[in-house]
């Protein structure tokens, strides 16, 4: 049977009628007529050969009232009239709105995708499958409605930025929940659980899209969970109170907390505001790995884990479905047998998935694209700001622009909790550096910077030169968006530990700032350099004025959201600490 089910078996897969346009990177409908059937009624011309172009806005066809020629074709659905040059204004009613008219049938071949157009794909980031690339570059009515109908969305409850944009860095929080719903998942135990934030990855893409960092947050990290205003399923609003010193994984599910609360917890921990979240459960892992045809993994030893039910021999394997879930849940048989060891093999798995999707023909196959899109839209829960296939596509194009060789997986640096060996605490000597690097878009891999040499030299010159004695530094301290009490905390540290006695707490600034800044006059440059050195401020934080200040006039220090605690450097290091855990996405690693 052909795509229309009318008894003409031509061996045509319906999805293969969608062809990649190399000029736009989008898929367009190309209906090949059956053998012996003309592409157009006698005497009519093809839109392409006649030169006719559609003018004016196109309306979306109503599936209930549209004529057959107006209905867009989706795999598995009838298309209606084929290739007719008729219809209003002689336009081709089957082609994608805004796309090109269909090419003549004779001698037509599928357009070959240019290599650069692989970036025109939608990145679905879900649970432990953070970088699943699927392409649905069409706005056809039925495609749009079908995939939108698959999407499950939850509110951000005012947390985060309100949505990504092209002119700044992007932060997407990926949450894998251990909720045991679905066929075959009861065997993993705790069947009645509402679920926790079991696997957590903050995917940060730099403003210039040259690099990205995927930061894993241990589920057993002891941290503070902030107050969480939440809209409940019944429409009511609930203010879930803050919880100090709890496990990170309780930021979801427990006490009616939703993913928006996990977003707030991440911001509280890292200082990075989250744009979007995506959530996947066990079933999502199984369906998505099957949709991509399996993921290649490597083991440095035999594994037979009675808890995760994974049994694999040493060497390379391709896994999917139940076996992939077992692999991602394995911890007792790898590394030190801890959750941190499990995080490492999850990162290795994700790197392998990315390499596979970037190297095979998935992105140029409409059939595979639709299979992946179908699985992804059904499997994932996203926030309400991207609960639309076009918004997801736009986000995906931004995320997919980063070269895998410049994507690094790393984990929040932690130490064993001396009070509870089952949990971990923040490594205060390393974690702030990692968070700072992400906030400042510093790559964890070697990336060629776009900054001009002259601009870089001018910025660095601000920090070079004589530094005033701490006793001669005069500064007023304002809070311009830092945590409450920061101005006083900074003042106490400056006076008691740094000897800056001519300093004053001026409370809240007239307006908030995006980042901490120091405003000073030209004749205060030596004082500015001393204060910048004490606080670990970057050259970009120094804002010189054009006129000199009076002898008794202080500089103005305004603390922004990047200020977390007194004494912690504000500027990011040029490279990551040598001994932090990390995996580069373009390199294959075998689980040990």
Residue 418 has pLDDT above 90, yes or no: yes
Is position 567 within any domain? no
Whole domain around residue 493: which residue ranges? Answer: 459-559
576 falls within a domain: no
Number of domains, the chain: 3
pLDDT of residue 140: 55
Q: Is residue 589 part of a domain?
A: no
Who wins on pLDDT, 96 or 135? Answer: 96
Q: Are residues 96 and 148 in the same domain?
A: no
Q: Do 500 and 525 reside in the same domain of the chain?
A: yes
User: Residues 107, 126: one domain?
Assistant: no
CA–CA gap between residue 545 and residue 562 (Å, rounded): 23
Strand ranges (DSSP E) for 151-242?
A: 152-154, 170-177, 197-205, 212-216, 222-225, 228-231, 237-240
592 compared with 398, residue with greater pLDDT = 398
How many angstroms separate the CA atoms of 436 and 439, rounded? Answer: 5
Q: Are residues 133 and 75 in the same domain?
A: no
pLDDT beyond 70 at 187: no
| ∠ Cα 376 410 324 (to 5°) | 40
Question: Does the pLDDT of residue 98 top 50, yes or no?
Answer: no
pLDDT of residue 202: 97
CA distance 505 to 557: 10
pLDDT score at 467: 95
Q: Let me know the angle formed at the C-alpha of 319 by 314 and 323, rounded to the nearest 5 degrees.
A: 95
CATH number at residue 211: 3.40.630.190
Same domain, 132 and 83: no
Q: What are phi and psi of 303, to 5 degrees?
A: -130, 130
Evaluate if residue 492 carries a pLDDT over 90.
yes
Residues 142 and 74 in one domain: no
Handedness of CA 546, 547, 551, 554 (dihedral sign): negative
User: Based on the domain organization, do 269 and 385 belong to the same domain?
Assistant: yes
Residue 435 in domain: yes
At residue 296, does pLDDT exceed 50? yes
| Residue 575 counted as domain residue | no
Q: Does the pLDDT at position 287 exceed 60?
A: yes
Question: What confidence score (pLDDT) does residue 63 get?
Answer: 42
Q: How far apart are the first and last CA of the chain?
A: 50
User: Are 407 and 526 contained in the same domain?
Assistant: no
Alpha helix stretches (DSSP H) within 110-251: 141-150
Place 189 in a pLDDT band, splitting at 50, 70 and 90: very low
Q: Are residues 211 and 322 in the same domain?
A: yes
Same-domain check for residues 387 and 463: no
Is the confidence at residue 65, as pLDDT, over 80? no
Domain finish residue from 57, 77, 112: 112
Least confident of 135-139, 160-164, 250-254, 321-325: 135-139
**pLDDT at residue 416, rounded to an integer:** 95
Q: Which of 151-155, 292-296, 466-470 has the lowest mean pLDDT?
A: 292-296
533 and 473 together in one domain: yes
CB distance 555 to 475 below 8 Å: yes
Domain presence at residue 256: yes
Same domain? For 47 and 153 the reply is no
Domain boundary among 84, 112, 140: 112
Confidence of residue 284 (pLDDT cuts 50, 70, 90): confident
pLDDT of residue 48: 36
Contact 116, 54 (CB under 8 A): no
Which CATH number fits the domain that encloses residue 530? 3.30.70.2390
Q: Cα(144)–Cα(546) distance, rounded to whole angstroms?
A: 55
Q: In this structure, are residues 200 and 339 in contact, taking their beta carbons and an 8 Å threshold?
A: no
User: What mean pLDDT do residues 23-49 have?
Assistant: 44
Which tokens belong to 215?
A: 């930061």
pTM as predicted: 0.68
When mean pLDDT is compared across 4-18, 225-239, 350-364, the lowest value belongs to: 4-18
Residue 448: the pLDDT is 56
- Judge contact between 411 and 215, C-beta under 8 A: yes
Report the percent of the chain where pLDDT is more than 70: 69
What's residue 144's pLDDT?
A: 75
Q: Is residue 580 part of a domain?
A: no
Q: Is the pLDDT of residue 529 over 60?
A: yes
Mean pLDDT: which of 29-33, 434-438, 471-475 is highest?
471-475
Question: Can you tell me the mean pLDDT for 409-422?
Answer: 94
Establish if 583 belongs to a structural domain.
Answer: no
Look over the chain and give the mean of its residue pLDDT values, rounded to a whole number.
76
- Last residue of one domain, picked from the residues 85, 112, 139: 112
């Amino acid at each position: 049977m052909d795509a229309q089910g009318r008894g003409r078996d031509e061996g045509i897969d319906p999805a293969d009628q969608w062809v990649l346009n190399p000029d736009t990177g989008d898929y367009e409908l190309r209906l090949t007529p059956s053998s012996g059937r003309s592409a157009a009624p006698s005497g009519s011309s093809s839109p392409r050969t006649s030169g006719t172009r559609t003018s004016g806005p196109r309306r979306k066809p109503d599936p209930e009232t549209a004529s057959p020629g107006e209905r867009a074709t989706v795999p598995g659905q009838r298309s209606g009239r084929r290739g007719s040059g008729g219809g209003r204004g002689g336009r081709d009613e089957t082609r994608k709105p805004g796309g090109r008219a269909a090419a003549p049938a004779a001698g037509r071949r599928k357009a070959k995708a240019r290599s650069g157009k692989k970036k025109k794909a939608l990145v679905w980031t879900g649970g432990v499958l953070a970088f699943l690339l699927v392409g649905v570059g069409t706005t056809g009515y039925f495609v749009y409605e079908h995939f939108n109908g698959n999407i499950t969305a939850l509110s951000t409850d005012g947390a985060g930025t309100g949505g990504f944009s092209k002119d700044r860095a992007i932060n997407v929080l990926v949450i894998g929940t251990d909720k045991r719903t679905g066929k075959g998942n009861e065997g993993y135990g705790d069947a009645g659980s509402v679920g926790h934030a079991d696997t957590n990855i903050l995917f940060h893409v730099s403003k210039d899209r040259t690099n990205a960092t995927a930061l894993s947050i241990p589920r057993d990290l002891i941290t503070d969970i902030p107050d969480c205003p939440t809209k409940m399923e019944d429409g009511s609003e609930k203010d879930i109170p803050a919880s100090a010193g709890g496990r990170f994984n309780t930021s979801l599910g427990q006490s009616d907390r939703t993913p928006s609360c996990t977003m707030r917890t991440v911001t509280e921990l890292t200082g990075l505001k989250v744009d979007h979240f995506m959530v996947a459960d066990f079933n999502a892992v199984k369906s998505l790995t099957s949709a991509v045809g399996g993921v290649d993994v490597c083991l440095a030893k035999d594994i037979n884990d009675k808890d995760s039910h994974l049994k694999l021999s040493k060497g390379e394997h391709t896994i999917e479905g139940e076996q992939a879930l077992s692999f991602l849940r394995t911890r007792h048989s790898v590394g030190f047998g801890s959750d941190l060891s499990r995080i490492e093999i999850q990162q290795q798995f994700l790197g392998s998935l990315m390499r596979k999707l970037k190297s095979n023909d998935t992105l140029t196959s409409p059939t595979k694209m639709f299979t992946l899109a179908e699985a992804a839209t059904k499997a994932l829960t996203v926030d309400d700001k991207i609960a639309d296939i076009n918004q997801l596509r736009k986000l995906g194009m931004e995320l997919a622009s980063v070269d895998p060789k410049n994507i690094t997986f790393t984990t929040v640096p932690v130490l064993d909790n001396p009070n509870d060996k089952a949990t971990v605490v923040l490594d205060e000597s390393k974690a702030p550096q990692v968070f700072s690097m992400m906030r400042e878009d510093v790559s964890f891999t070697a990336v060629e910077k776009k900054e001009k040499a002259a601009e870089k030299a001018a910025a660095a010159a601000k920090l070079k030169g004589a530094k005033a004695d701490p006793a001669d530094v005069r500064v007023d301290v304002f809070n311009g968006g830092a945590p409450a009490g920061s101005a006083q905390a900074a003042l106490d540290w400056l006076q008691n530990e740094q000897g800056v006695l001519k300093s004053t707490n001026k409370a809240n600034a007239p307006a908030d700032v995006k980042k901490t800044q120091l405003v000073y006059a030209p004749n205060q440059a030596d004082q500015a350099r001393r204060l910048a050195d004490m606080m670990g401020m970057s050259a970009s934080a120094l804002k010189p004025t054009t006129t000199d200040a009076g002898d008794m006039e202080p500089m103005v220090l305004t603390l922004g959201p990047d200020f977390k605690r007194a004494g912690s450097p504000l500027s990011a290091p040029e490279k990551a600490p040598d001994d932090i855990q990390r995996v580069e996405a373009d390199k294959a690693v075998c689980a040990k």
